[in-house]
Amino acid sequence: MIRKEFLPVSRPDVSEKEITKVAEILRSGWWTTGPVVTEFENNTIEYLRDSEDLYAVGVNSCTSGLHLALIASGIGSQDEVIIPTWTFAATAQVVEWIGAIPVLCDIEEDSLNIDLSKAEKLITSRTKAIIPVHMAGYPCDLDGLRNLARKYNLKVIEDAAHAFGTKYYQRKIGNFSDLCVFSFYATKTLATGEGGMVVSRDKQLIEKIRQKSYFGINKEAFKRYGATGAWFYDIEDLGYKCNLDSIHAALGLAQLERLDQMVAIRRQIAKRYRDGLSGLVDFTADSDRHFHPYHLFIIKLRSPAITRNDLIIELKKRNIGSSVHFIPLHMHSYYKKRFPENNFPVANKTFSNVLSIPMFSAMTIEDADYVIDQLKIILGG
């Protein structure tokens, strides 16, 4: 029987905690950047860090965070930055915003993460940084990245948009590279609608990003409106308008309190999918060595009897949402002109067979079983 309600590919998980915390901010009258943002930054540090110091600054999006991370790292005009072709536009476009050159790299077939052996072949005298993407929440080879960065003196800026809560050899993402940038977009494991966070062990880098995130002002500008603040401030550098506001930070605080529970549900659903669809479709990488929070659940089609696009249509008839993460950058019109050689055999081979099926912590096991049953009917399992 076809379910009556549409099951989206993703939906925010909202409880009374989020509603209460946002209501408190609305009643307080302090809606923009303020003490609640600082609290969210501090709580995020406490959640992420291991035995060493860690610093964080909230921003209005992961995109803004990546942009500021590049600037703070000294990446500039005509420098080259290696990124995977299998990513969203933001990863590449922030590079071009600062006048640098994105260099697209092919991916590993199992993880959809950047292929470091191919990345090394792309390094030139102008290469200054590499931006890995932890696709769907599964971690990149961070040991390999560290070795590559040391060998060629490269900055590593992790695009961890999918990876809040991910562990690499049981250490949480955020503790490894020069800079790591998270997304709190509405579909993420921790969702605030819009928003992000930049973390680093380098306090000076974080304070530079904090200053640039609000017009280059020399102190926490919001304090000038408080009872103990002073009206005077100085603009010391060129900056931007990328600060995180208190409403989104309040959502983040509530989500952070519930994060382990929400991730546990995602992992339970992922196991249900893997058990129920085993032998019918293939899956992207998972490993007992790491901890995968499953921002996305991606399947790879085996059956030649139905195309990916036809499967999307069939699922929609059954009130099941799906999506494709991602159209590789080199397949878009703008980047086709930039990379006409199209030297991305793994991405090209993989693209037509991947599909993201519903994955969010407000789902039920019954929802997952419905998806499994309908896929079995469609694919003849």
Closest among 131, 141, 123, 124 to 93, alpha carbons compared: 131
One-letter amino acid at 48 equals L
Residues 269, 366: Cα–Cα separation, whole Å: 10
Closest among 128, 131, 98, 130 to 238, alpha carbons compared: 98
Q: Does the annotation mark 188 as catalytic?
A: yes
Residues 135, 356: Cα–Cα separation, whole Å: 12
Q: Please, what are the domains in the chain?
A: 16-256 (3.40.640.10), 259-379 (3.90.1150.10)
pLDDT-derived band at 52 (thresholds 50, 70, 90) equals confident
Strand 155-160 with 127-130, pairing: parallel
Closest among 361, 375, 377, 373 to 8, alpha carbons compared: 361
- Positive/negative CA dihedral, 36, 236, 175, 298: positive
One-letter amino acid at 336 equals K
One-letter amino acid at 172 equals K
Q: Give buried/exposed letters for 28-37 (b at 16+ CB in 10 A, else e).
A: eebeebbebb
Average pLDDT over residues 141-166: 98
Average pLDDT over residues 74-99: 98
- The percentage of residues in the chain with a pLDDT greater than 90, rounded to a whole number, is 93
Strands of the chain (E only): list them: 55-59, 80-84, 101-105, 127-130, 155-160, 167-168, 171-172, 179-183, 196-200, 281-283, 297-301, 354-357
* Token code pair at residue 54: 């860690």
pLDDT tens-digit readout, 192-249: 999 999 999 999 999 999 999 999 997 665 665 566 667 788 999 999 999 999 999 9
Residues 77, 97: Cα–Cα separation, whole Å: 9
pLDDT tens-digit readout, 116-138: 999 999 999 999 999 999 999 99
Token match 């998270």: residue?
A: 182
pLDDT tens-digit readout, 92-110: 999 999 999 999 999 999 9
Active-site position among 188, 208, 212, 300: 188
> In terms of C-beta density within 10 A (0-12 exposed, 13-18 middle, 19 or more buried), how is residue 209 classed?
buried
| Cross-strand partners of 104 | 83
pLDDT tens-digit readout, 303-354: 778 999 999 999 999 999 999 999 999 999 999 998 899 999 999 999 999 9
Residues 65, 161: Cα–Cα separation, whole Å: 10
Residues 212, 207: Cα–Cα separation, whole Å: 9
Please, what is the average pLDDT of the chain? 96
DSSP 145-187: HHHHHHHHT-EEEEEETT-TT-EETTEETTSSSSEEEEE-BTT
Backbone torsions φ then ψ of 8, nearest 5 degrees: -75, 165
Sorted by sequence, the CB contacts under 8 Å of residue 282 that are 6+ apart come out as 299, 300, 301, 302
SS3 string, 274-290, reads HHHHECCEEECCCCCCC
DSSP state letter for 320: B
Q: Is the pLDDT of residue 157 over 70?
A: yes
